[in-house]
Amino acid sequence: MRVMAYTDMPPQQYKAFNQVFMEDRAYIYSERKMVNFLVLLKPLFRILMKVIAGMRPQSVEIEPGTVMHFWVPTQTIMESQNHDDQSMKKRKNKPGVVLLHGFAGDGFLTWMFQIATLTADYTLYIPDLLFFGESFSKSTKRSPEFQAECVVKGLKKLGVERFSVVGFSYGGPVGFKMVELYPNLVRCLVLSSSVVPLSEAISRVFLENKGFKYWTTLLLPETVEGLKLLLTIVTYWKPWFPDWVYRHYLEVMVKNRKERVELLELLVCKDKGNNKPDFSQNIHLIFGDNDRILNIELARCMKEQLGDKATLHFIKKAGHLAQIERPFAYNSCLKKILASLGTEGPQS
């Protein structure tokens, strides 16, 4: 007995079958009907953060109309709810570390490969900067200084007294402002793939070399092709993803476009009058040795400008996203830096 293939069907029947098949296929693969995978994964991320890292999300009102979202230790939330002095004492035995994300992601996505390895020895606080993730503000202020003020106000409300700051890319200038404004709170600053200040001259050289007129064209892509180009520039290894992954990322991660454009406009400083502040803290620089945004020469130049209090570390075979591309090498480097600080009594 021969089983009839669909190609053996009469023309009219085959046409009807093919139409139904194509409609079903279109339904399955339609982007409109496909639930965003990042939205689906969000509950899983929260479970993993709670189980593996002992951290939970917490929204903190900085001022009326301004709310900053943090990932904080579960015990921090318990302390605020139950006034648990014993839990607070245990938390303060670990040095506090604040992780600041870059421009194309939020706190979790930027630091997801560092969280588990750092929580064993440090008390982590991971904010979503304003207009990223779930943080928002009705204020018209857009400067790194305002971001720094909001982060510190949020940390104080969480009971954090002293901490080290690790700032990736855009988080670097925010971290610099935290050191400048609150020198007694910040133990040290680690700049990861970041340069401060980001001057007009540095911006002009990079943008001209890459064929861009504005940072917004690169860092705020509106299309799949634009996001692919950004990923090509910021990575050493060239990952491949299907187009729907890029579309879903754009839907979820590239929001608040108007406000982010304004953030970028205030990030670039005038060439004149950008003298380096004199900090008492040590400043540690971590760069991928194949960073195509901030290259090795720029990193070394910054090290020279910062002087003897600065150290420079390179992650081999890594681009701008060194903490994601080479997490084991990056984590080893970061932990050595943090361990070198020693102890100074209560830290967080």
Give the tens place of pLDDT for each residue, 150-173: 999 999 999 999 999 999 999 999
The predicted pLDDT at position 139 comes to 97
Distance CA 117, CA 113 (A): 8
Reported as a pLDDT band with limits 50, 70 and 90, residue 225 is: very high
- Answer whether residue 271 is part of any domain: no
Tokens coding 56: 């939970």
Cis peptide before 64 (omega within 30 of 0): no
Distance CA 148, CA 94 (A): 23
297 CB neighbour count, 10 Å cutoff? 8
- Answer whether residue 139 is part of any domain: yes
Distance CA 288, CA 317 (A): 7
Reported as a pLDDT band with limits 50, 70 and 90, residue 210 is: confident
The predicted pLDDT at position 286 comes to 98
Cis peptide before 239 (omega within 30 of 0): no
Query: Is pLDDT of 87 > 50?
Result: yes
Query: Is pLDDT of 50 > 70?
Result: yes
Distance CA 93, CA 106 (A): 28
- Answer whether residue 4 is part of any domain: no
- Answer whether residue 193 is part of any domain: yes
Tokens coding 316: 């081999």
Distance between terminal CA atoms of the chain? 78
- Answer whether residue 212 is part of any domain: no
Distance CA 227, CA 17 (A): 38
Helix pair angle (171-181, 144-157), 10° resolution: 70
- Answer whether residue 105 is part of any domain: yes
Residue 98 lies in domain: 37-198+281-339
pLDDT digits (tens, 9 = 90+) for 277-301: 678 889 999 999 999 998 899 999 9
The predicted pLDDT at position 285 comes to 97
* Among the listed residues 321, 305, 314, the one whose alpha carbon sits nearest the alpha carbon of residue 285: 314
Reported as a pLDDT band with limits 50, 70 and 90, residue 198 is: confident
The predicted pLDDT at position 196 comes to 83
CA distances from 105 to 48, 234, 249 (A): 18, 13, 10
- Answer whether residue 257 is part of any domain: no
The predicted pLDDT at position 55 comes to 95
CB distance 196 to 278 below 8 Å: no
* Overall number of domains in the chain: 1
Query: Is pLDDT of 343 > 50?
Result: no
Q: Which helix (H) or strand (E) holds 19?
A: helix 11-29
- Answer whether residue 239 is part of any domain: no
Distance CA 173, CA 147 (A): 10
The predicted pLDDT at position 26 comes to 46
* Lowest-pLDDT choice from 89-98, 190-199, 230-239, 318-327: 89-98
State what percent of residues in the chain have pLDDT above 70: 83
Q: Is 58 helix (H, G, I), strand (E, B) or coil?
A: strand
Report the CATH number at residue 290. Answer: 3.40.50.1820
pLDDT digits (tens, 9 = 90+) for 302-311: 899 888 889 9
The predicted pLDDT at position 324 comes to 96
pLDDT digits (tens, 9 = 90+) for 252-275: 888 899 999 999 999 988 766 555
